[in-house]
């Protein structure tokens, strides 16, 4: 299926975006979307021009700041943390065999570490949804 999703402007020049989705792309939509989102998030982190407000509930306690404070360097640090968590989540989702790292010859399968990683993935995806509209430069 080909979809023309319209004309957008970049640097004051029209840009036409066309998306082609093949039948097999919907077999694992999570994997397909991860392959698209991951390089975009990595480039966004490198090129971002500013930072959005990130709530204390979305960062480790060591990064807590006073709510409603003035813009300062902590905003960028907290935003980098959030983007990093999104990237981690999409890296795992893009890797079809990411869980193979939890298999060891001597201890078998490390269920505890798998659960911790799955929780981090879920948090990264939650942050992606929460801050989706802030992914612009």
Give the tens place of pLDDT for each residue, 98-122.
Answer: 888 898 888 788 889 999 999 999 9
Q: Is the pLDDT of residue 89 over 90?
A: yes
Q: Which domain holds residue 87?
A: 27-134
In a domain, 6, yes or no: no
Asked if the structure places residue 19 within a domain, the reply is no
Q: How far is CA 69 from CA 42, 61, 83, 118, in A?
A: 28, 17, 21, 33
**91 part of a folded domain:** yes
Measure Cα distances from 70 to 56, 73, 104, 126, 134 in Å.
15, 10, 48, 26, 18
| Residue listed under structure tokens 């813009």 | 71
In a domain, 8, yes or no: no
Residues 1-60: pLDDT tens digits?
555 565 566 666 777 778 899 999 999 999 999 999 999 999 999 998 888 989 999 999
Q: How many folded domains does the chain comprise?
A: 1
Residue 126 in contact with residue 58, Cβ under 8 Å?
no
Residue 3 domain-assigned (yes or no): no
Do the domain assignments include residue 53?
yes
Does 15 fall in a domain? Answer: no
**For the chain, what is the mean pLDDT?**
88
Kindly state whether residue 54 falls inside one of the protein's structural domains.
yes
């Amino acid at each position: 299926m080909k979809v023309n999703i319209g004309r957008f402007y970049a640097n004051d020049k029209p840009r036409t975006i066309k998306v082609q989705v093949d039948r097999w792309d919907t077999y694992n939509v999570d994997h397909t979307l991860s392959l698209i989102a991951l390089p975009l998030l990595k480039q966004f982190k490198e090129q971002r021009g500013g930072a959005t407000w990130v709530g204390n509930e979305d960062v480790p306690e060591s990064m807590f700041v006073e709510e409603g404070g003035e813009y300062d360097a902590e905003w960028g640090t907290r935003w980098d943390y959030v983007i990093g968590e999104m990237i981690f989540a999409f890296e795992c989702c893009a890797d079809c065999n990411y869980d193979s790292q939890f298999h060891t010859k001597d201890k078998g399968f490390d269920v505890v570490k798998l659960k911790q990683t799955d929780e981090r993935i879920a948090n990264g995806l939650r942050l992606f949804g929460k801050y989706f509209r802030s992914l612009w430069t």
